[in-house]
Amino acid sequence: MCDEEKLARWAREGLSRRQFGALGGMAALAACAPNAGGDGTAADTPEGMMTLPAMSERHVSFATADGTMDGFFVEPATTPVPGVILWPDIAGLRESKRDMARRLAGRGYAVLVVNPYYRDVEGEQFASFAEFAANDGFAKVRPWRDKLSSFAVQRDASAIVDWLDAQDLVDTTRQIGTQGYCMGGPFTVYTAHAEPERIGAAASFHGGGLVRDDDQSPHRLLAETEASYLFAIAQDDDAEAPAAKTALRQAAEAAGRPAVVEVFAGDHGWTVPDSPAYAEAAAERAWDALLELYEGAL
């Protein structure tokens, strides 16, 4: 999992804030260059690269049971498409997550990146994971994160689904997908649990706390969902808790839920372009697995 110990290790290994930011920026460009048009439309691309459809994007806010949630919404500009809920990692809403949403929107999805900390703060709090790491981000977000119980996230999920379903270009005849990173990984299961009739696919990338002893452990909730799953596990997380993948597979099988449970050749955070653990080859494999999940389930 992503924790203070890992941040300390990254610091010991000599990854400076400037290097970290530069690496994150280059990774984001590599991952998202095809849809980098600053006006919300597809960018010009060299011959041989995929040309993406025109897109529109905006910052949004809407009511929940606990307040006013805000987020970033991007969608293809013309044709109704399935909705997707993107739960960010511990560093929250920021440009790397917006870029990930833009890339997915370019493949035909309406993507909402939510601010999970809306009960305390609005919008972006850290411009990058480097800024989070350099400014004692854990201490800042800990009281916000402590409010994100399974029940709070499920209340949020119901409000998010209602908001997505009210958007003109979200195809409500098709189910919604959800994906989450780090602390957002278990939130995808909570979302599927809160809205079983609307959530058709859930993908957790290096998610923490998926297998616990309490009744609200995500793996214990699978039987009360209707989604197909992708649990993409980091290799260092697997080394720390090797039994978790088996518990997830057994829980999915017992629940009768289709699930891919796979350990990827990347450390915690490997899928996120501004993470110091970003591993491009493994991240692209995870991207392909996500698209396969959504294409089959939404």
Chain segment 38-54, per-residue pLDDT in tens:
333 343 344 444 566 78
* 78 confidence band (pLDDT: 50, 70, 90): confident
Q: Does 51 reside within a domain?
A: no
Q: Does 44 reside within a domain?
A: no
d(CA 185, CA 208): 6
Q: Does 170 reside within a domain?
A: yes
Residue where the block lists tokens 């596990």: 233
Q: Considering all CA atoms of the chain, what is the largest pairwise distance in Å, rounded to the nearest integer?
A: 53
pLDDT, mean of residues 59-74:
98
Q: Quote the strand ranges of the chain, DSSP E.
A: 55-64, 67-76, 83-87, 110-114, 176-181, 199-205, 228-234, 259-264
Q: Does 46 reside within a domain?
A: no
* Residue-level pLDDT at 77: 87
Q: Does 42 reside within a domain?
A: no
pLDDT, mean of residues 22-27:
41
- What phi and psi, each to the nearest 5 degrees, are found at residue 276? -65, -15
pLDDT above 60 for 247? yes
Prediction pTM value: 0.87
pLDDT, mean of residues 65-94:
96
- What phi and psi, each to the nearest 5 degrees, are found at residue 217? -60, 130
Residue-range definition of the domain harbouring residue 174:
4-37+57-297
User: pLDDT tens for residues 95-144?
Assistant: 999 999 999 999 999 999 999 999 999 999 999 999 998 888 999 999 99
d(CA 109, CA 189): 20
Q: Does 146 reside within a domain?
A: yes
Task: Count up the domains in the chain and report the number.
Answer: 1
Residue where the block lists tokens 């493949």: 107
The token duo for 129 is 């994971």
CATH of the domain at 67: 3.40.50.1820
DSSP codes, 242-257: THHHHHHHHHHHHHT-
In this structure, the chain runs to a length of: 298
Q: Does 256 reside within a domain?
A: yes
User: pLDDT tens for residues 192-238?
Assistant: 999 999 999 999 999 999 999 999 999 999 999 999 999 999 999 99
Percent of all residues in the chain with a pLDDT value above 90, rounded to a whole number: 80
Q: Does 223 reside within a domain?
A: yes
Query: Buried b vs exposed e over 244-273: b needs ≥16 C-beta within 10 Å?
Result: bbebbeebbeebebebebebbebbbbbbbb
DSSP structure class, residue 195 = -
Are the CB atoms for 168 and 83 separated by under 8 Å? no
Residue where the block lists tokens 């995870």: 286
From 179, 199, 167, select the one nearest 73 (Cα to Cα): 167
